Amino acid sequence: MLVVACPGQGAQSPGMLAPWTEVDGFVDALHRASEVTGTDLLAHGTTSDAETIRDTAVAQPLLVATALATLRAVLGAPAGTALPTAARGTVDVVAGHSVGELAAAAVAGVMTDDEALRLVAVRGAAMARAAAASPTGMRAVLGGDPEEVLARLAELGLVPANVNGAGQVVAAGPLDALAALGDAPPTRARVVPLQVAGAFHTDAMAPAVEELAAAAAHVIPRDPVVTLLGNGDGAVVRDGADAVARLVAQVARPVRWDLCQATLVDLGVTALLEVAPGGVLTGLARRTLPGVETLALKSPADLDAARDLVRRHAGTALTPQESQP
């Protein structure tokens, strides 16, 4: 049983799409995504520097476009082919971390590629504006006693914006409080700054929720044809309208990737394929999903291994009872 995982903001790196330009149809897919989002995603993925692609308004469309285009390469679904049609019967479960949820929704058939790309363009720009309104940020807290970590965040007025499992919590809030966290971290914990512009998945993003809700009103949602997990609670999402509502609300609510991984265990997933730019979610899975085979799709050199993983693990149908979280 195969899950496809779509990474979130911070996974991008300069030049990450350069090797993919040699893959048939990839450049055309990025040109189309650029047209839909109004951003030159091919240039950002090949020649833009780290500071440029750190911009939320750039990073988020770039990540969703990359996830969709690289999964198409794995499944052999050229532009013009409905991605859910290729995924159904091949991908058993799909989940996305933070902005990766929009790519996951397109894979599941809740919305089209173009709809997901239009929404992510709005999401990225709106979150960038919300972040610019106040000096906030995010830090990863690695290790430490979970209760002590959460208590320290509460003491400083910080929010556990991502609870990722594997001893990783992402704190979000004012920069001075984050600095204090770094100066006096919880026992046996390490604090690492993240390359994001603001306190995502907190109340600081409320203005972005309003903008995204207005844009999402133009989407006609479909019920998922591939089992889709929600970031907020790890639940299987069966209704298309509910999936879209969750995507909108999630901008200002914590990501519970730990609960998504718990659901994957309950479902009996045997393999995880993280689409490009893969690495972060695969690393978490290796520490929290024992016995699950993982593969991070980092370059076209990984395509044969990814297709082999799909061949060996995918295509197991879930019954309604089995798909309960």
**Catalytic residue list:** 98, 201
The three-state DSSP-derived secondary structure of the chain is CEEEEECCCCCCCCCCCHHHHHCCCHHHHHHHHHHHHCCCHHHHHHCCCHHHHHCHHHHHHHHHHHHHHHHHHHHCCCCCCCHHHHHECCECEEEECCCHHHHHHHHHCCCCHHHHHHHHHHHHHHHHHHHHCCCEEEEEEEECCHHHHHHHHHHHCCEEEEEEECCEEEEEEEHHHHHHHHHCCCCCEEEEECCCCCCCCCHHHHHHHHHHHHHHCCCCCCCCCCEEECCCCCCEECCHHHHHHHHHHHHHCCECHHHHHHHHHHHCCCEEEECCCCCHHHHHHHHHCCCCEEEECCCHHHHHHHHHHHHHHCCCCCCCCCCCC
| Closest listed residue to residue 106, CA positions, set 258, 269, 324, 275 | 275
- Parallel, antiparallel, or unpaired: how do β-strands 189-193 and 93-96 relate? unpaired
- Parallel, antiparallel, or unpaired: how do β-strands 236-237 and 227-229 relate? antiparallel
| Closest listed residue to residue 60, CA positions, set 170, 208, 236 | 208
Give just the sign of the alpha carbon dihedral 60, 64, 67, 69.
Answer: negative
State how far the Cα of 259 lies from the Cα of 18, in Å rounded to an integer. 34
